[in-house]
Chains A and B, each alone.
Chain A
Amino acid sequence: MTPRLVTGLGIACALGTGTEAFFGGLASAKRLSALPPSAIRSFDVSKYPDARIVEVPEFDATKYLGDKGLRTLDRLTKLLVVAARLCLHDAGIKKDNLWVALAPERVGVVCSNAYGSLEAITELDRVAKLEDARYINPAKFPNTVSNSASGYVSIWEELRALNVSVSDGNCGGLDAVACADIFLETARADAIITGGGEAMSEALFLAFQKLGVLGPVTGAGDRTTNGTATNDTRLGEAAAFLAFEVPEVARARGARILGEIAGYGTSFFAPEESPLVFASREAMKRAITTALADAQLAPRDVDLVVSSVAGLPQLDDEELAGIRDALPAAAVVAPKLALGETLGAGGTIGMAASLAWLGGVPVAQDLVVGGSLPARVRHVVVTSIGYYGNASAVVMRAS
């Protein structure tokens, strides 16, 4: 892969909104299982007294976007637009919401999301089923379409080069990198904000609760996986974008470089007899191996693996085994233990955390799930394992 320079970060997650808050929160991050439950505002949790979820605290889109035009936007859209705005400003492409570098026609968006706006879909479904379909709000109907939130990012931020929405479950945040890489290589844009989002909603929570994946896992007791407690899964929400640029563009405009994307790999491996929900150790190993080859690195070069381990043994065991197959010696961390399972945003959050650690932010010991932390982090592999046999990996390095 031709290196992609990361010149900006915009993020809204449980550890903070904005780069500074996020990096600060990451340095002192604690596992959610060690913290008291936080207040939930995105839906009425009175029916779910033990709701194991975590939100972006005190999220208020008006602080970043003003008061106008927000009434029909759903939570996912607001999170993503805020993250995009922060990213463009962090990258120095915009200042005070005005363009100061590059041009709207040369900046694009690639955005991952796993489940779309369940909030919008279920709200309109309720109207249609309990009242009448004639009464659904047409202004909210577009929110039910999977690429709607991504489209609003372009509208709010005037990003006209391209807008591509990716839906690849847990791997979407990393697979967005593959898309952005191709679009930059083929000169479809000079910069692409690349990221993902997932918003909390009652429907999303209910689905994961019904699946029994939100801890405590029944019957799992205190079993641990490479040091990871198996009963600390939380469902999370987040949105983040990283600004990717080709080196000649970033350097020509004197952009600050936060890190580099150096390699990408993905794999799908689901034997015929495997169940539909299937975490694939083999796919994880292959994705890492491919990403390392893409970055022209050897396993010994990797200082840190930023995994998607979230406390669900069915997935975590396979991911960690695949990581160990490919990278026997590297330290492994799991930011989701402090952020929750953020699904389509997860890979982007992993990359955002990697920027912090590549930049010297200390790794909180609470996030370590394997190996010994290196004295210095120079090369990171970010991993995501999917629910259906897919896995992806991205290599990042300090610039």
Chain B
Amino acid sequence: MRVFITGVGVVSSIGLGKDAFFAALAEGTSGISPVEAFDVKNLGRQFAGEAKGFRPKDHLTALEVRRMGRCSQMALAAARMAITDAGIDAGALKGPRVAVVLGTTMGEADVLGDLDHAWIHKGAAGVRRAIIPKYGSTLLPIHIARAIGSEGAVLTLPAACAAGNYAIGFAADLIRSGKADVVVTGAAEMLQELQYSGFVRLAAMAPAKCQPFDLNRQGLILGEGAGILVLESEAHATRRKAATLLAEVGGHGMTCDAYHITRPHPDAIGSIGAMRQAIERSGVTPDAVDFVNAHGTGTKHNDAAEAKVMKDIFGNRKVPISSMKSMLGHCMGAASALEAIGCIMTLERGVYPPTIGYETPDPECDVDVVANVARSGAHDVVLNNSLAFGGYNSVTCLARPYKLPEPPPFSRRAA
């Protein structure tokens, strides 16, 4: 069964909504700016990709704003954009055949931060009871399901920085298994003080810019946002005359390094395995891949490992690769969902988004980086790569509609 993406919604540091996001990606716009959400003066780092243009009240009711932390607010806003983009009428997503599957790293981190702040400074008596039920990653899909009236599965997959890919991959499998016709999926993450401080303490944060694959790269820059996608079965999408098939979801690869909690395996064994799975489960060979969206954090370990993956999978063929994190910042759980949406721009328009800030090639990263300005090229099949804390590796293959072979039966056991 084929699965299609029929609508997308974006909250990001470089724009709200698909059109603004695509335009900014194609132009190589940086969303990195001084942090305003909290005080960073003692941390030695001051930049992030904050979604400063996001105003919850522009997208949510007053009650919804009150009930949610910022992460859910961004997720619901992006979900509404995605559903509008899909041309689905309000009310059409009610019922048990619609599911919501979301990814995140920390979910409602601001709610917990506020509770913690009150507890630390005012003691237990200062903790406001009414705020407590607003905390929990499980709430992300719940808020969306409530808003759209869906009655199928509600599921959060907290897969750290690969969470978007995990959610999209699982959502596609849910449809292929026959358990849902439509899945609202993707991921959301908000910038929060403890996370920011933690990445600084891990010595993973660059001082001013994120330069994936550059010889002098100094690390990542955190970001935030939400990327939500509407996935539909082929039958459901074709029944619905208003549906535009933006892209097809191909195979999804998933492995675990079982090596280190924060660092990728130096030989990238798990990451290679995940990419092989994604290609093989799409029914194609590496030759069919036109472009790879890199995880591309800008850290020494990550980018070197990814370069090994590219070499192992594609051999001497230099498949163009780029990292949107150079523009968006590393949006953690939301990263691979936002980047999947960026891949749709590539599939639609044949435009590879650039890796901005790329100055000096790194011999250890011998890859064809789309450096600084967007590039045009073949655009039938792309891979969206992601890695995460916990040794998670996840790759999703996305393609122009009907450019992949007919998918095999869902049950690979039966096959």
Contacts and interface: CB of A to CB of B under 8 A. Distances in A.
Interface string B214-238: 0000000000000000000000000
B261 interface: yes
B119 A155 contact: no
A47 B348 CA distance: 61
Interface string B110-136: 001101110111001001010011111
Interface string A141-178: 11011111011101101111111111111001001001
A240 to B, nearest CB: 19
B119 to A, nearest CB: 7
A268 B157 contact: no
A205 to B, nearest CB: 10
Interface stretch (B191-199, B297-305, B350-358): B191-199
Interface in A101-160: 104-105, 108-109, 114-116, 118, 121-122, 124-126, 128-130, 132-134, 136-138, 141-142, 144-148, 150-152, 154-155, 157-160
B152 A266 contact: yes
B105 A138 contact: no
A179 B133 contact: no
Contacts of B248: none
A162 B119 contact: no
A39 interface: no
A159 B258 contact: yes
A389 B142 contact: yes
A388 interface: yes
Contact of B138 (A210, A246, A386): A386
Interface stretch (B27-35, B169-177, B284-292): B169-177
Interface stretch (B11-19, B81-89, B249-257, B363-371): B249-257
A114 B262 contact: no
Interface string A261-286: 00000111110100011000001001
B145 A268 contact: yes
A268 B152 contact: yes
Interface in B152-179: 152-160, 166, 170, 173-174, 177
Interface stretch (A185-193, A322-330, A348-356): A185-193
Contact of B159 (A125, A147, A184): A147
Contact of B177 (A128, A175, A182, A248): A182
B261 A142 contact: yes
Given A121-B116, A160-B255, A162-B256, A129 B132 contact: no
B66 to A, nearest CB: 10
A151 B116 contact: no
A231 interface: no
Given A142-B261, A154-B391, A166-B155, A147 B160 contact: yes
B413 A210 contact: no
B194 A147 contact: no
Contacts of B186: none
A390 interface: yes
B323 interface: no
A165 B258 contact: no
B202 interface: yes
Most buried by A among B44, B124, B194, B273: B194
Contact of A167 (B107, B129, B258): B107
A146 B270 contact: no
Interface string A70-98: 00000000000000000000000000000
B412 A388 contact: no
Interface string B375-415: 00000000000001111100000000000000000111100
Contact of B410 (A166, A167, A186, A268): A186
A166 B392 contact: no
A346 B381 CA distance: 42
Contacts of A252: none
Nearest to A110: B157
A152 B119 contact: no
B359 interface: no
Nearest to A138: B201
Nearest to B106: A146
A249 to B, nearest CB: 10
B139 A388 contact: yes
B256 A270 contact: no
A203 interface: yes
A211 B129 contact: yes
Given A206-B124, A388-B138, A388-B142, A142 B262 contact: yes
B170 A182 contact: yes
A33 interface: no
B255 to A, nearest CB: 6
A152 B390 CA distance: 7
A203 B105 contact: no
B103 to A, nearest CB: 10
| A-B CB proximity, top 6 nearest | A151-B390, A146-B158, A133-B197, A141-B198, A163-B256, A187-B412
Interface of A: 2, 47, 104-105, 108-109, 114-116, 118, 121-122, 124-126, 128-130, 132-134, 136-138, 141-142, 144-148, 150-152, 154-155, 157-169, 172, 175, 178-179, 182, 184-188, 203, 206-207, 210-212, 246, 248, 266-270, 272, 276-277, 283, 286, 386-390
25 contacts: A47-B124, A116-B106, A124-B194, A126-B116, A126-B120, A129-B121, A133-B43, A133-B201, A142-B262, A145-B158, A145-B389, A146-B137, A146-B160, A151-B392, A158-B258, A166-B158, A167-B158, A184-B413, A185-B412, A186-B173, A186-B412, A206-B124, A210-B129, A210-B132, A276-B133
Given A134-B197, A182-B170, A210-B129, 4 more contacts: A47-B124, A128-B194, A163-B392, A286-B151
